[in-house]
């Protein structure tokens, strides 16, 4: 029997760190499923583990989801019919459900002290046994246990796992998973501080919030049979379960470690959503990239907008096998989505990146540049790198770069001064007239286009790589081009000067 009614999915992060692609992909798929079916996508904050709470992480999760465009219908900040949506605010409720399981004979009070449990674990370690609760309090008389609870004795509530037989849990993409009940521990459901464990809280909330599809990481497969037991103990219909593939290092060997993550960041790559945003990736590209790590449409189509994904996503095409994180793919998708933006939109998105690099520009300032940079950007961060000089009064000339390919300072100087003379007289100053003059000079001076244009490019941009030269010069304007060429000529002159006698 499975949960009936309109599709309701949830993303249930613990506020224990920054939103990363593992969580964000779960959120994405859950969002897609809900949107596609006209159902609801719920955000629930699972903050019952107070020790692991990281201040600021809840805000980061929400900001990251919003940036990705994965807006939720119900959540801690907007409420909804099944709230509150923060587990710490639902504390009283979990005790009620844990007590219900005790009453039904599926759970029991346990009074073992942390010291006794530590000794037990030590003993098990020594005998090379799996860490398990030994069931001491399971054998207590229920009436006596109740009296001790009422007398205020510190206790937890444990699940009374069946000792015989097996349990079969069904995952939509992995099929049936069967385990022997004797291998399931008497997990704690309610802790001595009254907070539920994840296992109790997740089951109670998914039920009360009428979640129809539980999508989550494969790291939860181990305790999946326990959750199935809990649903059965309560007598509740189960949701459809989907345990998503895990992510591996780019090499495909092993999980991504903290150290790997630090190495990625040095190269402005990251598995954190906040970093990807800062490093100039578009949310459209991040969604496209994440969507295809664990799902495919037809093994061919690779460009998807969020709307495409809402239309085309299907649970059946999820892949259970682990996916290696591939940052070149991310770059590739980012380029594609940058090119798909309207010029005004790209200009708007580039503004903060120019500002961060020290250029105070408006979208209107950037708009004329879009036609010459749009196809050359991999990330938004590349914008100021590639075109910052447009907003400078002065540029630096890396002197050696002013020397043309297979030329020397003297011949480069001569070529550039000819360019200067001709351009000084040029009117009107347009892409076409500039091109005409420069191509004419290539012929006249007997140089290769690469040689002459290379010198001019460094002279008017300070860089060996720039947007297309003639358009760049037209946009820079005559005054700046001439002034910067003059400075470049002075630099070439210095390079020619004989070394002063020592
Ligand atoms: N709070 C759990 C986590 O952070 C949620 C797992 C689930 O979706 O059931 O991963």
Cβ-based neighbours of 132, under 8 Å, separated by 6 or more: 124, 185, 186
Which residue's CA is the nearest one to ligand 1's atom 10?
Answer: 13
Same domain, yes or no: 432 and 464: yes
Would you say residue 288 has pLDDT above 90?
yes
Three-state DSSP at 383 gives helix
Main-chain dihedrals φ then ψ at residue 177, nearest 5 degrees = -120, 115
CA dist 453 and 176 (Å) reads 66
CA of 198 to the centre of ligand 1 (A): 8
Tell me: do 55 and 122 sit in the same domain.
no
Pairing mode of beta strands 188-190, 213-217: unpaired
pLDDT at residue 314 tops 70: yes
Q: Is residue 329 part of a domain?
A: no
Q: Across-strand partners of 70?
A: none
Q: Which domain covers residue 412, as residue numbers?
A: 399-496
Give the pLDDT mean for 371-395.
97
Q: Is 72 inside any structural domain?
A: yes
375 part of a folded domain: yes
Contact 202, 227 (CB under 8 A): yes
Question: What ligand 1 atom has the least distance to the C-alpha of 216?
Answer: 8
Give mean pLDDT, residues 447-462.
Answer: 97
What pLDDT is recorded for position 299? 83
Model-level pTM greater than 0.75?
yes
Q: Is the pLDDT of residue 443 over 70?
A: yes
Q: Which residues of 36-50 are buried (b: 16+ CB within 10 A; e: fewer)?
A: eeebbbbbbbbbbbe
CATH number at residue 191: 3.90.800.10
Residues 57 and 191 in one domain: no
Q: What is the pLDDT of residues 24-74, one digit of tens each?
A: 999 999 999 999 999 999 999 999 988 899 999 999 999 999 999 999 999
Averaged pLDDT for residues 377-398: 96
| Residue 189 shares a structural domain with residue 104 | yes
Asked if residue 102 belongs to a domain, the reply is yes
Q: Higher-confidence residue: 322 or 50?
A: 322
pLDDT value at 21 more than 50: yes
> What's the chain's average pLDDT?
96
For residue 12, is pLDDT > 60? yes
Residues 63 and 20 in one domain: yes
User: Is residue 76 domain-shared with residue 96, that is, in the same domain?
Assistant: no
Instruction: Kindly report, residue by residue over 259-285, the tens digit of the pLDDT.
Output: 999 999 999 999 999 999 999 999 999
Domain boundary among 246, 262, 283: 246
Six-digit token string for 291: 């969507």
User: Do 70 and 138 sit in the same domain of this protein?
Assistant: no
Question: Average pLDDT for residues 327-340, to the nearest whole number?
Answer: 98
Q: Sorting pLDDT into bands at 50, 70 and 90, what band is 501? A: low
Contact 329, 289 (CB under 8 A): yes
The protein residue whose alpha carbon is closest to atom 8 in ligand 1 is 216
Residue whose CA lies nearest to ligand 1 atom number 7: 216
Instruction: Tell me how far the alpha carbon of residue 337 lies from the centroid of ligand 1, in angstroms.
Output: 31
> Is residue 358 in a domain?
yes
pLDDT beyond 60 at 2: no
Instruction: Summarize the confidence of residues 320-327 as an average pLDDT.
Output: 95
Is residue 4 pLDDT above 90, yes or no?
Answer: no
147, 101: one domain = yes
pLDDT number for residue 58: 97
Residues with CB under 6 A from ligand 1: 12-14, 46, 202, 216, 220
46 CA: nearest ligand 1 atom:
1
212 and 69 together in one domain:
yes
**What pLDDT, on a 0 to 100 scale, did the predictor assign at position 497?**
79
Residues with Cβ within 8 Å of 137's Cβ and at least 6 positions away in sequence, in order, are 108, 109, 110, 111, 112, 145, 158
Report the percent of the chain where pLDDT is more than 90.
96
Q: Which has the minimum average pLDDT: 1-15, 200-214, 440-454?
A: 1-15
Let me know if residue 322 belongs to a domain: no
100 with 191, same domain? yes
Q: Could you confirm whether 406 is annotated as catalytic?
A: no
CA of 67 to the centre of ligand 1 (A): 21
pLDDT value of position 50: 84
462 and 384 in a common domain? no
Residue 430 within a domain:
yes
d(CA 472, CA 487): 18
Residue 301: the pLDDT is 96
| Marked catalytic residue, from 51, 253, 258, 266 | 258
Total domains present in the chain: 4
Q: Which residue, of 211, 227, 246, is where some domain finishes?
A: 246
Residues 139 and 231 occupy one common structural domain: no
* Whether the bond into 186 is cis, omega within 30 of 0: no
Determine the distance separating the centroid of ligand 1 and the alpha carbon of 45, expressed in angstroms.
9
Q: Is the pLDDT of residue 502 over 90?
A: no
Domain assignment present for 312: no
If DSSP states are collapsed to H, E and C, what string results for 140-178?
CCHHHHHHHHHCCCCCEEEECCCCCCEEEEEECCCEEEE
Q: What digits encode the pLDDT tens for the residues 411-436?
A: 999 999 999 999 999 999 999 999 99
Which atom of ligand 1 has the smallest separation from the CA of 26? Answer: 8
Over 80: is that where the pLDDT of 499 sits? no
Cα separation of 63 and 83, whole Å?
20
Q: What is the CATH number of the domain that holds 428?
A: 1.10.10.350
115-161 confidence digits (pLDDT tens): 999 999 999 999 999 999 999 999 999 999 999 999 999 999 999 99
Question: pLDDT tens digits for 94-111?
Answer: 999 999 999 999 999 999
């Amino acid at each position: 029997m499975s949960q009936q009614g309109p599709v309701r999915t949830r993303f249930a992060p613990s506020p224990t760190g920054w939103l990363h692609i593992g969580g964000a992909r779960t959120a994405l798929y859950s969002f897609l499923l809900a949107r596609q079916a006209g159902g609801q996508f719920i955000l629930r904050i699972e903050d019952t583990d107070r020790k692991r709470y990281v201040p600021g992480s809840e805000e980061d999760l929400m900001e990251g989801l919003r940036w990705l465009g994965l807006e939720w219908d119900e959540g801690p900040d907007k409420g909804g019919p099944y709230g509150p949506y923060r587990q710490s605010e639902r504390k009283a409720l979990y005790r009620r459900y844990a007590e219900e399981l005790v009453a039904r004979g599926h759970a029991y009070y346990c009074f073992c002290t942390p010291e006794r449990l530590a000794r037990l674990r030590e003993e098990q370690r020594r005998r090379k046994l799996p860490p398990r609760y030994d069931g001491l309090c399971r054998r207590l008389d229920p009436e006596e246990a109740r009296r001790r609870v009422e007398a205020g004795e510190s206790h937890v509530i444990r699940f009374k796992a069946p000792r015989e037989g097996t349990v079969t849990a069904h995952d939509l993409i992995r099929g049936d998973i069967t385990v022997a009940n004797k291998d399931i521990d008497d997990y704690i459901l309610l802790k001595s501080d009254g907070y539920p464990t994840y296992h109790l809280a997740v089951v109670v909330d998914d039920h009360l919030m009428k979640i129809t599809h539980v999508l989550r990481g494969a790291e939860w497969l181990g305790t999946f049979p326990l959750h199935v037991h809990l649903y059965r103990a309560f007598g509740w219909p189960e949701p459809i379960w989907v345990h998503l593939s895990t992510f591996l290092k780019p090499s495909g060997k092993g999980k991504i470690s903290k150290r790997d993550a630090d190495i990625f960041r040095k190269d402005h790559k990251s598995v954190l959503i906040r970093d990807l945003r800062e490093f100039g990736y578009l949310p459209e590209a991040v969604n496209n990239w994440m969507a295809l790590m664990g799902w495919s449409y037809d093994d061919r189509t690779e460009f998807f907008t969020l709307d495409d994904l809402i239309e085309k996503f299907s649970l059946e095409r999820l892949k259970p096998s682990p996916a290696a994180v591939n940052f070149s793919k991310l770059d590739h998708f980012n380029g594609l989505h940058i090119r798909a933006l309207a010029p005004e939109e790209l200009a708007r998105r580039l503004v903060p990146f120019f500002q961060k690099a020290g250029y105070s520009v408006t979208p209107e300032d950037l708009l004329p540049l879009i036609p010459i940079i749009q196809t050359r950007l991999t990330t938004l961060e590349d914008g100021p790198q590639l075109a910052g000089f447009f907003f400078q009064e002065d540029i630096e000339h890396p002197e050696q770069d002013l020397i043309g390919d297979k030329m020397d300072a003297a011949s480069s100087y001569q070529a550039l001064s000819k360019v200067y003379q001709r351009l000084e007289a040029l009117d009107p100053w347009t892409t076409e007239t500039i091109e005409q003059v420069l191509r004419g000079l290539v012929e006249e001076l007997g140089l290769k286009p690469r040689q002459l244009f290379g010198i001019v490019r460094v002279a008017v941009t300070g860089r060996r790589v720039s947007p297309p030269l003639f358009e760049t010069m037209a946009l820079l304007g005559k005054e700046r081009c001439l002034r910067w060429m003059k400075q470049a000529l002075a630099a070439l002159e210095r390079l020619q000067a004989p070394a002063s006698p020592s």
